[in-house]
């Protein structure tokens, strides 16, 4: 599938990290020595909002959600697929804690990079720093678009956004096994699980999608895209 649409309200990160390509050979060796790979099971917390920020994290393999929480409720900011960095908002030495939480949606592999070493790379390698700034900028633009989507688009438009983004940015095809539960989709779209189930059934009945258990396919991509755009 060659759908390369850009969605202003898309929840899924697309800032695939190219900054490590800017490192010299010795810097890459130091990076290896200053990092460790960890495996997280589905549902495990990767980083906790408010805890001491000791590492920047790179998603080697998997899928995670980034969210804010206040003890009683939470707000999903975005989904992080392979090739993305976590905890960049804690790079400033004035921010000693993680500014959000992250949880693995599926079994994932994450590289933890010592944050002090990561900061030293920013100071010593201008090309590396420029790439990281570009990622931070893209993250900000995406979150602005997500808030606009949540506050201005109607329910059908928000759900269409998520389904299209999964197809275009995660699986890059119109047929895949949906890794998210109905509750997860509801959380992402700012609706109740019951509403999401009802809307998915309606999309299915109208021939826009085909959903059988976890097997999902977009049948009418153009029509679903129009729903996303008109929201």
List, as one string, the DSSP characters of the chain: -------TT--B------GGGG--HHHHHHHHHTEEEEEE-TT-EEE-TTSB--EEEEEEES-EEEEEE-SS-EEEEEEE-TT-EE-GGG-STT--B-SSEEEESSSEEEEEEEHHHHHHHHHH-HHHHHHHHHHHHHHHHHHHHHHHHHHHS-HHHHHHHHHHHIIIIIISSSEEE--S-HHHHHHHHTS-HHHHHHHHHHHHHTTSEEEETTEEEES-HHHHHHHHHH-
Instruction: Tell me which of 3.30.450.80, 3.40.605.10, 2.60.120.1310, 2.60.120.10 is the CATH number of domain 19-149.
Output: 2.60.120.10
- Please report the pLDDT score of residue 4 as a whole number: 41
- Letter string b/e over residues 82-100, b meaning 16 or more CB atoms within 10 A of that residue's CB: eebbbbbebbeeeeeebbb
What confidence score (pLDDT) does residue 74 get?
A: 85
Task: State the Cα–Cα distance between residues 6 and 44, nearest whole angstrom.
Answer: 30
The ranges assigned to domains in the chain are: 19-149, 153-230
Are the folds of 19-149 and 153-230 the same?
no
C-alpha span between 141 and 40 (Å, rounded): 28
Tokens describing residue 188: 């992402």
pLDDT means over runs of 10, the chain (231 residues) = 46 68 96 97 96 96 92 85 91 91 96 97 97 90 80 88 87 89 88 94 95 91 91 65
pTM score: 0.83
pLDDT of residue 11: 55
Please name every residue paired with 12 in a beta bridge, in sequence order, or none if there are none.
Answer: 79
User: Is 66:105 a contact under the CB 8 Å cutoff?
Assistant: no
pLDDT at residue 16 in the model: 60
Fold annotation for 153-230:
Arc Repressor Mutant, subunit A (1.10.10)
* Contacts of 228 by beta carbon, 8 Å cutoff, 6+ apart: 7, 157, 160, 161, 164
């Amino acid at each position: 599938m060659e759908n390369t649409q850009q969605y202003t309200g898309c929840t899924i990160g697309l800032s695939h990290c190219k900054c490590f390509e800017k490192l010299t050979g010795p810097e890459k060796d130091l990076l290896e020595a200053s990092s460790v790979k960890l495996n997280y099971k589905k549902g495990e917390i990767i980083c906790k909002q408010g805890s001491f920020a000791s590492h920047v994290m790179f998603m080697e393999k998997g899928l995670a959600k980034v969210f804010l929480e206040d003890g009683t409720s939470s707000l999903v900011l975005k989904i992080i697929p392979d090739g993305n960095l976590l905890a960049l908002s804690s790079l400033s030495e004035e921010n000693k804690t993680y500014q959000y939480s992250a949880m693995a949606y599926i079994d994932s592999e994450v590289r933890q990079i010592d944050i002090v070493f990561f900061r030293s790379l920013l100071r010593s390698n201008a090309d590396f720093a420029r790439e990281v700034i570009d990622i931070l900028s893209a993250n900000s633009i995406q979150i602005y678009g997500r808030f606009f989507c949540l506050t201005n688009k109607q329910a059908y438009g928000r759900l269409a956004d998520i389904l299209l983004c999964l197809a275009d940015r995660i699986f890059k095809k119109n047929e895949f096994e949906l890794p998210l539960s109905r509750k997860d989709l509801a959380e992402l779209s700012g609706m109740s699980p019951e509403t999401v189930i009802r809307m998915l059934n309606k999309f299915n009945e109208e021939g826009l999608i085909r959903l059988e258990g976890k097997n999902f396919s977009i049948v009418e991509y153009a029509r679903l895209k129009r729903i996303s755009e008109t929201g």
